[in-house]
Chain A
Amino acid sequence: MSDAYRPYTLVAELTYRCPLRCVYCSNPVEYTRHTDGLDTADWLRVFREAEELGVVQLHLTGGEPVLRDDLEALVEGARAADLYTNLITSGIPLSRERLARFRSLGLDNVQVSIQDVAAPSSDRVAGARVFERKLQVARWVKELGFPLTLNVVLHRENLGHVEEIVALAEALAADRLELANTQYVGWALVNRRVLLPTAAQLDGARRVSAAAHARLRGKMEVLFVMPDYYSEFPKACMDGWARRFLVVSPDGLALPCHAAHTLPGLVFENVKDRPLEAIWRDSPAFNAFRGDAWMPEPCKSCERRAIDFGGCRCQAYLLTKNAAATDPACSLSPDHGLIEAARQEALSAPDDGFEYRAPRPAVRK
């Protein structure tokens, strides 16, 4: 297979377990169906096979990856495979001593998430009293000499706080600030009515972020991820299906994106059954949405088809029940009215509260 399909990044979802209950969690709503099925040796083999395939970046994530007792061994193995290794954590539960061990084992970068700039609002979104502890962990990260990425998922309750978020990131001496607007899949779709902002809120936040980006150039990288609900064209989800990213779920499924196993009709293979290279190259599920043969109109004849690849397959399925539809976020999609209706709804205040991430029975729709 040519380099047109080369994975550069492996997203290792070490577990879906997490002490937090964030209302926009991108793990599958039925996350309890996927238990931690890979042991230390399995993951280390996955890292080596991924590196052979061309992967250079590794994200250790979850759920909450620090819940794995073998994370030290995984960091060590990742560095032995020369992968640029990034720990994506809520910071809970993480001690300074353990962080220092990760440092000496060669961990390259730590990403800590916060939910807002003050404890009450941040903890309300996380569903746990953790804000102050998160700040403490972020400080340890810098004290130990790691680069720090601060990640904040944006929605209608915190979009007005971007200026304060930037100030907090500066106070923490973050190297990178990710202002990532909520993507409405997983739990975020469940809570869309209470999370989706208005266009006016977004515009304000985007202006503040652009000013910070210019002011902090060379010092702190400020990244503002636009929500596709307010974009003219869909996002190039995962840089295209099975093109640049490889995700492995806690139970060992090799996936083109972290929600792909929620799509019906696709069979995803387990890294315990088959080498990663064979899955990447041959698996029918990986090939299902590569290229443009699968595309419907208006994608098929669209000049943007090699730019946004038809958008997000999971969003297409979640909103239209057809994973091969044009992403409704695209203004050219025949289903774009679904997005416009959600935007219209966002103009009035929601009258219901959050549904927190929690185990829930499978619901057939």
Chain B
Amino acid sequence: MIALDSRPRLAAKARIRFDRKTAQHLLLYPERGLVLNPTAADVARLCTGEHTVHAIVERLAEKYAPQPRAQVERDVVSFLDALAERGLMQTEP
């Protein structure tokens, strides 16, 4: 599981783009793509290597209030873990 004080950065091979056909964001990488829901798209855009996981959770909890902060944290962490599993994310110390 990703540490809350690490700074995730999207892998060089991954690129986000908006899909006009579905009005959703896609995370594209070689031969594949993931459809991102609005929360996942927000998280992916913050994976620049500057923000800690903790800071990303704070940012999203504010945006998606009154959703419980614990729930937001679970969603963010599981999404980041899924990205790491696919080699789509690195963490900066």
A interface, CB within 8 angstroms of B: 3, 6, 8, 54, 56-57, 82, 84, 86, 108-109, 111, 145-147, 149, 175-176, 217-221
Contact = CB atoms under 8 A, between A and B. Distances in A.
B28 to A, nearest CB: 4
A140 B74 CA distance: 40
Contacts of A84: 15, 17, 28-29, 33
B21 A3 contact: yes
A145 B13 CA distance: 10
Contact of B86 (A8, A108, A145, A218): A218
Interface in B15-70: 15, 17, 19, 21-22, 26, 28-31, 33
A217 B30 CA distance: 16
Interface of B: 11-13, 15, 17, 19, 21-22, 26, 28-31, 33, 84-87
A147 B31 CA distance: 12
A8 B22 CA distance: 12
B31 A145 contact: no
A57 B27 CA distance: 11
A82 B17 contact: yes
Q: Is the interface of A mostly helix, strand, loop or mixed?
A: loop
Nearest to B20: A54
A218 B17 contact: no
The 5 closest A-B pairs by CB, nearest first: A147-B13, A84-B28, A109-B30, A54-B21, A218-B87
A56 B26 contact: yes
A147 B12 contact: yes
20 contacts: A3-B21, A8-B33, A54-B21, A82-B17, A84-B17, A86-B30, A108-B13, A109-B29, A109-B30, A146-B12, A149-B30, A149-B31, A175-B11, A175-B87, A176-B30, A217-B87, A218-B84, A218-B85, A218-B86, A221-B87
Given A149-B30, A176-B30, A221 B12 contact: no
A111 B21 CA distance: 28
Nearest to A220: B87
